[in-house]
Amino acid sequence: MTDHAPQEHRFQAETASLLDMMIHHLYTRREVFLRELISNASDAIDRQRLLALTSAGAGAEADDYRIRLIPDAAAGTLVVEDNGIGMSEEEVVTHLGTIARSGTAAARQGAAAEGQDSTGLIGQFGVGFYSVFMVADEVQVLTRRIEDASGVEWRSSGGEGFQVRRMPDLPHGTRITLHLRRDTPPAAPAVDDAAEAPADERPAAEAFTDPELLRQIVKRHSDFIAFPILLVSPEGSAGVREEQINSTRPLWTRRPAEVSAEDYAEFYHHLAHDWSEPYAVIHQHVEGMREYTALLFIPGRRPVDLDAREHRRGLQLYARRVFIMDECRELMPEYLRFVRGLVDSPDLPLNVSRESIQEDRLLMAMRRQLTRRVLSELAERLGSDRAAYEHFWESFGAVLKEGFHYEPAQAPRLKEICLFRSSSQEGWSTLAEISSRRVEGQSALYYLTGERLDALRSAPQLEALRRRGVEVILLADGIDEIVIAQLGEVDGLPPRSVAQGQLDLEGLPEPPPTEGADSATAVQLEPLLAQLGQQLADRVSAVRVSTRLTDSAACLVDEEGAPSAQLLHILRAMGQEPPAPHRVLEVNAAHPLLQRMQLRAQVSPDDPVLAEYASLLHDLALLAEGTAPADGAGLATRLAAVMTRAMG
Of Mg ion, ligand ADP, none, which one sits near residue 95, judging by CB under 5 to 8 A according to partner kind?
A: ligand ADP
312 burial via Cβ count (<10 Å: 0-12, 13-18, 19+) = middle
| Of the candidates 558, 571, 528, the residue with the CA atom closest to the CA atom of residue 621 | 558
Of ligand ADP, Mg ion, none, which one sits near residue 84, judging by CB under 5 to 8 A according to partner kind?
A: ligand ADP
Report CA 267 to chain centroid distance, whole Å.
20
- Contact with Mg ion (CB under 5 A) among 40, 177, 246, 486: 40
C-beta of 87 vs 229, nearer to ligand ADP: 87
| Of the candidates 438, 440, 395, 441, the residue with the CA atom closest to the CA atom of residue 419 | 395
Question: How far apart are alpha carbons 473 and 485 in whole angstroms?
Answer: 14
C-beta of 82 vs 471, nearer to ligand ADP: 82
Query: Which amino acid, one-letter code, is at 47?
Result: R
With binding defined as CB under 6 A, does residue 95 bind ligand ADP?
A: yes
Of ligand ADP, Mg ion, none, which one sits near residue 103, judging by CB under 5 to 8 A according to partner kind?
A: none
With binding defined as CB under 6 A, does residue 84 bind ligand ADP?
A: yes
With binding defined as CB under 6 A, does residue 430 bind ligand ADP?
A: no
Question: What is the smallest separation between the CB atom of 342 and Mg ion, expressed in angstroms?
Answer: 17
Question: How far apart are alpha carbons 520 and 590 in whole angstroms?
Answer: 5
C-beta of 129 vs 292, nearer to ligand ADP: 129
Per CB under 6 A, contacts with ligand ADP among 5-44 are 36, 40-41, 44
Of Mg ion, ligand ADP, none, which one sits near residue 166, judging by CB under 5 to 8 A according to partner kind?
A: none
Half-sphere CA count of 363, side-chain side, radius 13 A: 25
With binding defined as CB under 6 A, does residue 87 bind ligand ADP?
A: yes
* 3-class secondary-structure state, position 293: strand
Of Mg ion, ligand ADP, none, which one sits near residue 34, judging by CB under 5 to 8 A according to partner kind?
A: none
C-beta of 96 vs 280, nearer to ligand ADP: 96
C-beta of 38 vs 214, nearer to Mg ion: 38
- Contact with ligand ADP (CB under 6 A) among 51, 53, 58, 100: 100
With binding defined as CB under 6 A, does residue 128 bind ligand ADP?
A: yes
Question: How far apart are alpha carbons 423 and 548 in whole angstroms?
Answer: 14
From residue 130, alpha-carbon distances to 117, 137, 157, 189 in Å are 18, 12, 11, 19
C-beta of 95 vs 421, nearer to Mg ion: 95
Question: What is the smallest separation between the CB atom of 119 and ligand ADP, expressed in angstroms?
Answer: 17
- Contact with ligand ADP (CB under 6 A) among 174, 222, 500, 588: 174
Query: Which amino acid, one-letter code, is at 423?
Result: S
Half-sphere CA count of 625, side-chain side, radius 13 A: 27
Contacts of 167 (CB under 8 A, 6+ apart): 4, 142, 144, 150, 151, 152, 153
C-beta of 342 vs 532, nearer to Mg ion: 342
Helices 102-113 and 13-25, interaxial angle, to 10°? 80
Q: List the x/- string, 41-80, binding to ligand ADP by CB under 6 A.
A: x--x------------------------------------
- Contact with ligand ADP (CB under 6 A) among 66, 144, 273, 401: 273
Of Mg ion, ligand ADP, none, which one sits near residue 597, judging by CB under 5 to 8 A according to partner kind?
A: none
Applying CB under 6 A, which part among 92-100, 309-317, 369-377, 427-435 lies near ligand ADP? Answer: 92-100
Applying CB under 6 A, which part among 84-92, 345-353, 384-392, 602-610 lies near ligand ADP? Answer: 84-92
Query: Which amino acid, one-letter code, is at 559?
Result: E
C-beta of 48 vs 430, nearer to ligand ADP: 48
Q: Which helix (H) or strand (E) holds 402?
A: none
Applying CB under 5 A, which part among 4-12, 40-48, 387-395, 493-501 lies near Mg ion? Answer: 40-48
| Of the candidates 423, 446, 438, 443, the residue with the CA atom closest to the CA atom of residue 507 | 443
Question: How far apart are alpha carbons 367 and 379 in whole angstroms?
Answer: 18
Tally helices (H) and strands (E) across the chain: 21, 22
With binding defined as CB under 6 A, does residue 331 bind ligand ADP?
A: no
Pairing relationship of beta strands 540-545 and 583-587 according to DSSP bridges: parallel
- Contact with Mg ion (CB under 5 A) among 128, 228, 250, 460: 128
Which residue(s) pair with 175 in the sheet?
A: 81, 142
With binding defined as CB under 6 A, does residue 314 bind ligand ADP?
A: no
List the Cα angle 36/40/46 in 5-degree steps.
145
- Contact with ligand ADP (CB under 6 A) among 31, 82, 477, 619: 82
With binding defined as CB under 6 A, does residue 144 bind ligand ADP?
A: no
Applying CB under 5 A, which part among 32-40, 137-145, 200-208, 414-422 lies near Mg ion? Answer: 32-40
Half-sphere CA count of 257, side-chain side, radius 13 A: 0
Question: How far apart are alpha carbons 191 and 208 in whole angstroms?
Answer: 23
On whether the CB atoms of residues 86 and 173 are closer than 8 A, the answer is yes
| Of the candidates 453, 446, 448, the residue with the CA atom closest to the CA atom of residue 427 | 453
| Of the candidates 200, 233, 231, the residue with the CA atom closest to the CA atom of residue 217 | 231
C-beta of 128 vs 397, nearer to Mg ion: 128
Applying CB under 6 A, which part among 93-101, 232-240, 250-258, 616-624 lies near ligand ADP? Answer: 93-101
With binding defined as CB under 6 A, does residue 156 bind ligand ADP?
A: no
On whether the CB atoms of residues 140 and 103 are closer than 8 A, the answer is no
* Residues near ligand ADP (CB under 6 A): 36, 40-41, 44, 82, 84-87, 95-96, 100-101, 128-129, 174, 273
* Residues near Mg ion (CB under 5 A): 40, 128
